[in-house]
């Protein structure tokens, strides 16, 4: 209850700001139209019109909620014209999850390699870091188009972009985690003459778990960003990226905002899923969260 | 040192160190941590290494445990090199901090070395129960380290060191971070444990009263370079209570340790 009040206060503040902003941004166009048509109007008329305008510069929350309801419940999920929003969420979610899974495998493999082989660190690490300095917006269309020409369409090219983004925080976080074992704990394992494998499974990996899960939360969120970005150059076929693109083509601002809300909710669910996995894994191995 | 209980006069010492030196190479100049140390520890002895910070007492213990390599001289543990002794699991090591794994329960911390040595589950459980009983922690098997006090955590780490029945117990200021009351209590428990198990113990400390209370022999060390100044044989009985600290005998030994430390300029600034 004590936490709910400040959160609600902030929410109310932003709603007020939003509705005020909708009036400020949408009013000039309406006034312009009414002046040309010679329609008489009052301030109350103007506010009403600004809050319910089609193709508004800034749509209002109730318009977005109405659009979300309409696009989720008024069409079947499998629709010939792909009008159901959940269908697009599903498309984006699947390439996000596949890309995240690839990123996880690659990221963990790189981290384990780097920690165990000095040469890998000096040869691979600069490339790993450099890979992330290239703007994803520049590389995503090329990857999607090239893979498309090679016959790879659908989930796979988009998943590659997600994987490209998500392996990085996993590698960096896990390398840090695997190296964070206490010198005393390492000495202890040495007094037992533990093998490298025993050292890894019984000390390094458990020590790295908190680092790994923090990285996974970052990774799954940017995996979603990668999937959405990868959907832009496909020409708006399906997915939340496509919804953003067609929305901006046709000036359907409400559709853009609905897609944004859907992406945010999807992101929350994915990060929440990682948090749940953390609780199960850490719970099983014991110890405080 | 003649220990009642049969260990006396045994030909082969548990620790036999001769002219042992260790020099650390640092960026500006080499640091002589140990300078021609001679030390012989017989089976059943409780030997304390005492000296100010930087006198090499921890380094000496780490050499015995094969955590550091000496640069000169020889160290034989049970007639073997420290590395062979480590591989044969002759010693258990108790560090300054408990070094418990926070994701393991008390019981699974105690059985960690047993898991590494490939001992089966039933036997692991049996030994954990036995060792936890020995350090007075029966009933805490399922707790996590963070649910225990500092003194209890250190007792878990002693149980862990004893779980695979090593011949030799190496302890590096195990009670250094604890308050005096807890420390007295643990010293009493430790001396009883030593008497009951008959283990050979090497104990690093910078507390004079702790060294005199626990030991059958006290090795006084001086810093820079680390040298042995004096070896004091204690004639206190093996069975000890906290009251022994009030006796003249105890005070005399403590005074001799203090004189030794003073001779090594341990009290100089």
Find out whether A71 and A220 touch, Cβ atoms under 8 Å. no
Same domain, A111 and A250: yes
Domain boundary among A18, A35, A56: A56
Find out whether B3 and B44 touch, Cβ atoms under 8 Å. yes
Task: Name residues whose C-beta falls within 8 Å of residue B136's C-beta, 6 or more positions apart in sequence.
Answer: B155, B189
The pLDDT of B135-147, averaged and rounded, is: 90
Long-range contacts of B100-103 (CB under 8 A, 24+ apart): B100/B145, B100/B153, B100/B156, B100/B157, B100/B160, B101/A185, B101/A203, B101/A206, B101/B145, B102/A287, B102/A288, B102/B144, B102/B145, B102/B146, B103/A206, B103/A209, B103/A282, B103/A285, B103/A286, B103/A287
Same domain, A91 and A190: yes
The pLDDT of A278-286, averaged and rounded, is: 74
Same domain, A17 and A155: no
Beta bridge partners of B170: B93, B202
Interatomic CA distance for residues B53 and B35, integer angstroms = 16
Domain boundary among A56, A72, A96: A56
Q: Which residue has the higher pLDDT, B198 or A270?
A: A270
Residue A222 resides in a domain: yes
Same domain, A222 and A106: yes
From residue A165, give the alpha-carbon distance in Å to each of A93, A122, A126, A274: 15, 21, 16, 17
Q: A288 and B104 in contact by Cβ < 8 A?
A: no
Instruction: Please give the pLDDT value at position A289.
Output: 39
Same domain, A41 and A180: no
B220 pLDDT band, cuts 50/70/90, is very high
Q: Which residue has the higher pLDDT, B245 or A233?
A: B245
Instruction: Please give the pLDDT value at position A234.
Output: 66
Tokens of B215: 């030991």
Find out whether B135 and B94 touch, Cβ atoms under 8 Å. no
A2 pLDDT band, cuts 50/70/90, is confident
Same domain, A108 and A48: no
Query: A183: which chain B residues are within 8 Å (Cβ-Cβ)?
Result: none
Interatomic CA distance for residues A204 and A4, integer angstroms = 39
Interatomic CA distance for residues A270 and A274, integer angstroms = 6
What does residue A66 show for φ and ψ, rounded to 5 degrees?
Answer: -60, -40
Same domain, A230 and A127: yes
Same domain, A91 and A224: yes
Residue A225 resides in a domain: yes
Instruction: Please give the pLDDT value at position A285.
Output: 56
- pLDDT tens per residue across span A29-80: 999 999 999 888 899 999 999 999 888 899 999 999 999 999 888 888 777 7
Instruction: Please give the pLDDT value at position B7.
Output: 45
Domain with A17, as residue range(s), is 4-56
Percent of chain B with pLDDT over 90: 48
Residue A150 resides in a domain: yes
Residue A64 resides in a domain: no
Instruction: Please give the pLDDT value at position B5.
Output: 42
ipTM for this model: 0.88
Residue A69 resides in a domain: no
Same domain, A49 and A91: no
How far off is chain A from B199, nearest CA to CA, in Å?
A: 18
Residue A79 resides in a domain: no
Same domain, A118 and A206: yes
Query: A187: which chain B residues are within 8 Å (Cβ-Cβ)?
Result: 67, 93, 95, 99
Q: In what order do the strands lie in the sheet with B15-24?
A: B31-41, B15-24, B72-77
Whether pLDDT at B10 is above 70: no
Interatomic CA distance for residues B176 and A177, integer angstroms = 29
Domain boundary among A56, A72, A94: A56
B154 pLDDT band, cuts 50/70/90, is very high
Which residue from A minimizes the CA distance to B66? A191
Interatomic CA distance for residues B171 and B184, integer angstroms = 16
The pLDDT of A208-228, averaged and rounded, is: 94
Query: A210: which chain B residues are within 8 Å (Cβ-Cβ)?
Result: none
Same domain, A179 and A131: yes
Tokens of A90: 């599903």
Whether pLDDT at B162 is above 80: yes
Q: A184 and B95 in contact by Cβ < 8 A?
A: yes
Q: Which of B87, B96, B105 sits opposite A193 (nearest CB)?
A: B87
Residue A197 resides in a domain: yes
CATH code, A145: 1.10.3720.10
Interatomic CA distance for residues A163 and A144, integer angstroms = 13
- pLDDT tens per residue across span B35-86: 888 999 999 899 999 988 878 889 999 999 999 999 988 999 988 999 999 9
Residue A66 resides in a domain: no
Instruction: Please give the pLDDT value at position A97.
Output: 96
Same domain, A121 and A217: yes
Q: A209 and B146 in contact by Cβ < 8 A?
A: no
The pTM of the full predicted model, rounded to 2 decimals, is: 0.82
Whether pLDDT at A125 is above 90: no
Instruction: Please give the pLDDT value at position A287.
Output: 47
Number of domains in chain A: 2
- pLDDT tens per residue across span A228-270: 998 887 665 788 988 888 888 888 899 999 999 999 999 999 9
């Amino acid at each position: 209850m004590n936490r709910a009040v400040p959160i609600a206060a902030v929410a109310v503040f932003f709603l007020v700001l939003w509705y005020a902003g909708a009036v400020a941004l949408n009013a000039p166009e309406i006034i312009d139209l009414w002046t040309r048509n010679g329609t008489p109007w009052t301030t109350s008329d103007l506010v009403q019109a600004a809050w319910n305008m089609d193709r508004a510069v800034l749509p209002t929350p109730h318009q977005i909620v109405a659009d979300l309801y309409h696009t989720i419940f008024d069409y079947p999920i499998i629709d010939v014209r792909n009008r159901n929003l959940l269908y697009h969420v599903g498309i984006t979610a699947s390439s996000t999850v596949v890309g995240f899974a690839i990123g996880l495998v690659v990221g963990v493999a790189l981290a384990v390699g780097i920690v165990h082989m000095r040469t890998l660190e000096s040869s691979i690490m600069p490339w790993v870091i450099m890979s992330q300095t290239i703007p994803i917006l520049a590389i995503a269309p090329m990857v999607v188009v090239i893979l498309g020409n090679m016959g790879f369409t659908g989930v796979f090219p988009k998943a590659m972009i997600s994987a490209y983004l998500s392996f990085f925080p996993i590698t960096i976080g896990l390398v840090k985690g695997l190296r964070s074992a206490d010198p005393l704990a390492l000495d202890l394992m040495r007094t037992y003459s533990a093998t490298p494998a025993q050292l890894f499974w019984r000390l390094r990996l458990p020590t790295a778990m908190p680092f790994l899960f923090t990285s996974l939360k970052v990774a799954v969120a940017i995996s979603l960003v990668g999937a959405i970005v990868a959907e832009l150059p496909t020409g708006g076929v399906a997915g939340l990226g496509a919804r953003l693109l067609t929305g901006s083509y046709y000036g359907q601002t409400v559709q853009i905002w609905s897609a944004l809300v859907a992406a945010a909710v999807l992101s929350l669910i994915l990060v929440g899923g990682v948090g749940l996995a953390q609780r199960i894994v850490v719970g099983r191995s014991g110890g405080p969260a | 040192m003649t220990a009642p209980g049969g260990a006396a006069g045994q030909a082969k010492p548990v620790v036999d160190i001769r002219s042992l030196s260790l020099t650390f190479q640092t960026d500006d100049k080499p640091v002589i941590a140990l300078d021609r140390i001679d030390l012989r520890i017989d089976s059943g002895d409780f030997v304390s290494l005492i000296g100010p910070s930087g006198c090499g007492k921890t380094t000496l213990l780490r050499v015995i445990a094969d955590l550091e390599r000496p640069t000169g001289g020889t160290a034989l543990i049970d007639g073997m090199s420290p590395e062979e002794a480590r591989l044969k699991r002759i010693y258990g090591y108790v560090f300054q901090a408990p070094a418990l794994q926070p994701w393991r329960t008390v019981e699974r911390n105690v059985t960690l070395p047993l898991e590494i040595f490939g001992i089966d589950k039933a036997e692991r459980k049996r030994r954990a129960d036995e060792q936890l009983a020995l350090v007075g922690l029966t009933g805490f098997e399922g707790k996590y380290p963070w649910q225990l006090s500092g003194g209890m955590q250190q007792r878990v780490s002693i149980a862990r060191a004893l779980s695979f029945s090593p011949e030799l117990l190496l302890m590096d200021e195990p009670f250094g971070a604890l308050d005096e009351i807890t420390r007295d209590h643990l010293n009493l428990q430790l001396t009883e444990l030593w008497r009951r198990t008959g283990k050979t113990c090497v104990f690093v400390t910078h507390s004079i009263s702790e060294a005199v209370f626990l030991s059958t022999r006290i090795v006084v060390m001086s810093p820079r370079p680390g040298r042995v100044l004096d070896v004091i044989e204690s004639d206190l009985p093996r069975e000890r209570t906290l009251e022994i600290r009030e006796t003249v005998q105890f005070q005399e030994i403590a005074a001799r340790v203090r004189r030794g430390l003073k001779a090594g300029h341990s009290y100089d600034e």
